[in-house]
Amino acid sequence: MKRSARRLLATFACIVVLSGCAISPVGVKRMDPRTVHRTLTANVLTAGKPSIPTLNVLHRRDLFQRFDKDPAGALAALHRVAVAEDDTDAYFALAELAFLHGERKKDRSYSIAAAIYAWSFLFGAQPPDSFDPRLRVATDLYNRGLTAGLEEGNKRGVLLDGRSVALPFGQLQFAFDAKVLDWNGRHLRDFMPVAELEVHGLDNRFRTPGIGAPLAASAAAVSTDQPKDDLLAPRLKIPVTALLRIENVRAQIASGNVTATLELHTDPNETSVNVGGRSIALEKEQTATIAAMLAESPVIKQEIQAFLGAVTRTSATKSGLVALRPHTAGRIPVVFVHGTASSPARWAEMVNVLDNDPRINTRFEPWFFAYDSSSPILYSSYLLRRALQDTVVRLDPTGSDPGLQDMVVIGHSQGGLLTKMTAVSSGTSFWENLTKKSFEEVKMNDKDRALWREIIFVEPLPFVRRVVFVCTPHRGSYLAASDWIRSIITRLVTLPITVTQITADLVTLNPDLASMAALRRVNAVENMTPGNRFVRTLSGLPVTAGVTAHSIIAVQGDGPIEKGDDGVVRYESAHIDGVESEKIVHSSHSTQAVPETIEEVRRILLEHAAAAQP
């Protein structure tokens, strides 16, 4: 090689070494699209690290390395930039970085500062475009920052009151009207941040995305004596939303003294809030609230105790109806009636799904009937009818509420038999099962006669317009036919004192009716034994004209439907003529949470809504 060529080569090599550019400093590498997408969309809430837009701000302002070494100093420097330049990008970065720093240091002053910065980004001079991915991140930062900033010590919940809070850049003073804690005769307390809850036992989790910190509030009775006319569940939890409203937010941030109002939105029908002339959706967590309520109730234990008669029963003068929210005029009640050794909790998944469908939620409201499912079915059905009648009269004394006059009742298993008893006319058939003497001939005191008349002479409720039978043993349950099961239950259950007392008084006044003393040992399982006089009589009674009936029948296995069963009730017992529709679901007896069952109930309710008055 010539000397000149060697010199040229050596010069080129020297340039390469000195520049450190053996390969290009900028380039691309093909990767899995999911990995790239996770990188592009990662943020402090999903990945525990700042998002790309925030990193861009840190690099642009030469604060990247400083935030790593001195986060508080970097945040103070970025705060000064945001205020001086009214920089919307900087306010978003401040929201994310303040939340991250507050989380790392467990410093609530930074958490609530993150909420203030996020509010500034969302509702400042130039609100973000709806396609800006930072819009949802900033909303979540506001919601989570507010929750963390208001959280009580040891994560016992969120404390709602007015107070002064130190901020990294000044002071926050906010007012709170404690009157909002008084809600429909109850007092709201124990505010649980549901964003921190993992839900199990429900297949679907519904959340209404929007602005505000979603909370589950306990709606406790004001006094230990629960009002008799209170339809709300005793241990009710309701979804509420906390909102810290800040006017002229950027000017206040610049001043260092921020005043605000802490609002609590408790109306179950309220879906949005006005901020700066814009209607913004309120965030709510419906599913997590239901799960939190049920988690505080030992459901299985209570169901067994109730069936065996080991807990206080609903008396003839108190309603067994409960609701999840106050009645709204025009809304149609859907009354869910549980089955044997069960409880309203068994409808949780169905209500969770249906009540989060706006087409259902805006037209219907769920009610539940709780009862001692070991009691004679005639007596339980009387309690259901009495409860419904009393509630309708109390809520709508003039009969002017179209929703209360268009009710739907849905019963599972034994609950289906109670449901049918809201829509039949029995005449004297049930009485004739007991004695051949006429009702007027039998001696009774006036109070007992009035009660017996209500229990045993059944007439359809005029406001029940549609009934749904789910796995209902219209001709009895083959499981109840087992002698040993009936024998054990008869020895274990304790019937309501009302039943035993009126029966004892009847026999005392009428010695010739001594055989009726056996009624004190009759229970629901006995009533559902195939061939039992009660179930045989009820199966022969048609649903009254003007009431639309539907059947949902569960059948296990792949054999012929007509020969099938659900493990408790045979198809031939659940099937009745004269219904508007019959849906076969391949499921076990407990079918309330099965998607196919839920979808059939949705279809029925939408059909009912279409036929109802607008």
Whether residues 266 and 390 share a domain: the answer is no
pLDDT higher than 90, residue 496? no
Q: How many CB atoms lie within 10 A of CB 17?
A: 10
| Residues 222 and 264 sit within 8 Å (Cβ to Cβ) | no
pLDDT category, 38, cuts 50, 70, 90?
A: confident
Cα dihedral 444/445/450/451 (nearest 10): -80
DSSP track, 433-449: TT-SS-TTTS---HHHH
Whether residues 225 and 323 share a domain: the answer is no
Whether residues 469 and 373 share a domain: the answer is yes
Q: How many CB atoms lie within 10 A of CB 65?
A: 11
What confidence tens digit (pLDDT) does each residue in 282-327 have? 999 999 999 888 887 655 555 555 555 544 444 333 448 999 999 9
pLDDT higher than 60, residue 256? yes
What confidence tens digit (pLDDT) does each residue in 350-363 have? 999 999 999 999 99
CA atoms within 13 A on the CB side of 11: 6
Whether residues 189 and 337 share a domain: the answer is no
What confidence tens digit (pLDDT) does each residue in 422-447 have? 999 999 999 888 888 899 988 889 99
Tell me the residue type at 198: E
Which domain covers residue 594, as residue numbers?
319-495+524-608
- Indicate which CATH number applies to the domain containing 384: 3.40.50.1820
Do the domain assignments include residue 312? Answer: no
What confidence tens digit (pLDDT) does each residue in 556-575 have? 988 899 999 999 999 999 99
Question: Which structure tokens are listed for 324?
Answer: 């999840």
| Residues 233 and 322 sit within 8 Å (Cβ to Cβ) | yes
CA atoms within 13 A on the CB side of 391: 29
Whether residues 329 and 204 share a domain: the answer is no
Do the domain assignments include residue 487? Answer: yes
Q: What is the rounded CA–CA span in Å between residue 425 and residue 421?
A: 8
Q: What is the rounded CA–CA span in Å between residue 442 and residue 453?
A: 12
Q: Residue 40: its pLDDT value, please?
A: 84
Q: Which residue has the higher pLDDT, 183 or 5?
A: 183
Q: What is the rounded CA–CA span in Å between residue 286 and residue 209?
A: 11
Q: What is the rounded CA–CA span in Å between residue 346 and residue 383?
A: 20
Q: Which residue has the higher pLDDT, 490 or 366?
A: 366
| Helix ranges (DSSP H) in 474-594 | 483-492, 497-509, 524-527, 533-539, 571-574
| Residues 603 and 548 sit within 8 Å (Cβ to Cβ) | no
Whether residues 323 and 281 share a domain: the answer is no
Whether residues 195 and 338 share a domain: the answer is no
Q: Which of 267, 288, 309 is the last residue of a domain?
A: 288
- Structure pTM? 0.88
Whether residues 255 and 113 share a domain: the answer is yes
Do the domain assignments include residue 300? Answer: no
Q: How many CB atoms lie within 10 A of CB 132?
A: 14
pLDDT higher than 90, residue 458? yes
Do the domain assignments include residue 568? Answer: yes
How far is residue 176 CA from its own chain's centroid?
27
Q: How many CB atoms lie within 10 A of CB 213?
A: 28
**Distance set, CA 459 to CA 67, 75, 285, 455, 544 (Å):** 76, 73, 41, 10, 9
Do the domain assignments include residue 108? Answer: yes
Express as a percent the part of the chain with pLDDT over 70: 86
Report how many domains make up the chain: 2
Do the domain assignments include residue 52? Answer: yes
Q: Which of 288, 307, 328 is the last residue of a domain?
A: 288
Do the domain assignments include residue 516? Answer: no
Q: Which residue has the higher pLDDT, 233 or 253?
A: 253
Q: What are phi and psi of 102, to 5 degrees?
A: -65, -40
Whether residues 282 and 424 share a domain: the answer is no
Whether residues 172 and 259 share a domain: the answer is yes
Instruction: Specify the DSSP element, H or E, that contains 245.
Output: strand 237-245
Q: Which residue has the higher pLDDT, 514 or 90?
A: 90
Do the domain assignments include residue 601? Answer: yes
Whether residues 244 and 140 share a domain: the answer is yes
- Per the prediction, the chain carries an average pLDDT of 87
Q: Which of 288, 305, 328 is the last residue of a domain?
A: 288
Whether residues 561 and 478 share a domain: the answer is yes
